[in-house]
Copies of this chain bind each other. A is one copy, B any other.
Amino acid sequence: MSKAYRLLNHGPTVLVSAAHGGRRNVMAAAWNMPLDFNPPKVAVVIDKQAYTRTLIEASGEFVLSVPPVALLQQVMAAGSQSGRDLDQDKFEACGLQAASVSAVGAPLVEGCVAWLACKVLPEPEMAARYDLFLAEVVAAWADSSAFSDGRWHIERDEQRSLHHVAGGAFFTTGAMVQG
């Protein structure tokens, strides 16, 4: 857990998922960052229109999943439509698989390379004024073929994380350098 911040530290675009009252949803969010080391905290911007936000505000929980290049089209699908407007579950509409965890009621997104289960910190003014949600990370996991012992060791191109610029254009995570 003391190394959970490293899952977001390089600035990837994430999928935000939440569930409440038998409904679940997922969205894409480039505007996220670590907020503290230990206990780990995160900050993420979630628009007032987002159906995922409704579920987060009702449940007080969400999961951040770090999608790899292999999920590029699914991330695009998650980022370009609202669960509010769909007749079907948005995971299914986007070709994404959800999985349950015990730490929070929100589902995680299968096929991602890292996951952070989060509980919202009560800062309603930040949400109202800036669409900003602060949360404590209560559990975190990573695909051990991409991240283990607190270090990323991405070997296959399809495991690289995505860094959205605009309009569906993403940088992928490139080579590592040591300062």
A166–B150 contact, CB under 8 A?
Answer: yes
Assembly stoichiometry (copies): 2
Smallest CB gap from A162: residue in B: B177
CB distance from A30 to the nearest CB of B (A): 5
Smallest CB gap from A161: residue in B: B171
A9–B177 contact, CB under 8 A?
Answer: no
Q: How many residues does chain A have at the interface if contact means C-beta atoms less than 8 Å apart? A: 48
Residue A10 interfacial (CB < 8 Å): yes
Q: Within A36-85, which residues are at the interface with B (CB < 8 Å)?
A: 36, 41, 43, 45, 69, 72-73, 75-76
Contact A41 to B173, CB < 8 A, known contacts A164-B9, A165-B10: no
